[in-house]
A and B are shown apart, each in its own frame.
Chain A
Amino acid sequence: NAGVTQTPKFRVLKTGQSMTLLCAQDMNHEYMYWYRQDPGMGLRLIHYSVGEGTTAKGEVPDGYNVSRLKKQNFLLGLESAAPSQTSVYFCASSYGDPTEAFFGQGTRLTVV
């Protein structure tokens, strides 16, 4: 029973490099979310998806892109990483309002 799995768990990037974070869920959830969490702060929503092939902007979308080609996967891309994107990234999925969200274990990203 994997739930929500994020890959990778840790990554160090140089400024300007690109990378993709993968989120996979096995609960057949329609909705998926990407958040970032900075020290002492809560979760800020980057982008989310309300179904396969659909995505929407969250609270802090700039500098990120997402894709949901398959229902179980939600990818978060950084085209040109910046030090301000150093953060812990969490993926979550749910059946939608008002049900609970299930979270992955997080990806710690450092941009130097």
Chain B
Amino acid sequence: SQKIEQNSEALNIQEGKTATLTCNYTNYSPAYLQWYRQDPGRGPVFLLLIRENEKEKRKERLKVTFDTTLKQSLFHITASQPADSATYLCARYNAGNMLTFGGGTRLMVKP
């Protein structure tokens, strides 16, 4: 089966620094990878989608990369703020429109 793995350890960084989160996948490369943000007690909210043939995608302070050789996507938040503290999840569609998620990485940005 197609799996997505994220670093389960929380990432603690100082305000103003760049946060980098990793998403690794197994087997065949998905055509797309998605990234979501989840705040405590709430459902995930979609942030970005990156296509297999896109090296990089940006949205304001967010940047996502997709490396099919390493089977990895990196999610960056530049100039991080305490309000960026949340759990970030990556996701992919598998065959039959089965949408699966990684375990998520909790980000804590300290002032």
Contacts and interface: CB of A to CB of B under 8 A. Distances in A.
A105 B39 CA distance: 11
Given A97-B32, A100-B49, A42 B101 contact: yes
A103 interface: yes
6 contacts: A56-B98, A59-B1, A90-B44, A97-B32, A98-B31, A104-B43
Interface residues of B, number: 26
Interface string A26-41: 0000010101000011
Interface string A79-111: 000000000001010101110111111100000
A98 B43 contact: no
A65 B6 CA distance: 29
Contacts of A22: none
A37 B64 CA distance: 25
Given A40-B8, A98-B31, A98-B32, A106 B97 contact: no
B103 A42 contact: yes
Contacts of A58: 98, 100
Contacts of B97: 31, 48, 50, 96-97
A35 B103 CA distance: 12
A45 interface: yes
Interface string A43-86: 11100101000001011000000000000000000000000000
A30 to B, nearest CB: 8
A51 B89 CA distance: 25
Interface of A: 4, 31, 33, 35, 40-45, 48, 50, 56, 58-59, 90, 92, 94, 96-98, 100-106
Contacts of A96: 93, 97
Contacts of A40: 8
A83 to B, nearest CB: 22
Interface in B41-58: 41-46, 49, 51
A110 B43 CA distance: 18
Given A58-B98, A97-B32, A98-B32, A41 B103 contact: yes
Interface string B69-111: 0000000000000000000010101001111111110000000
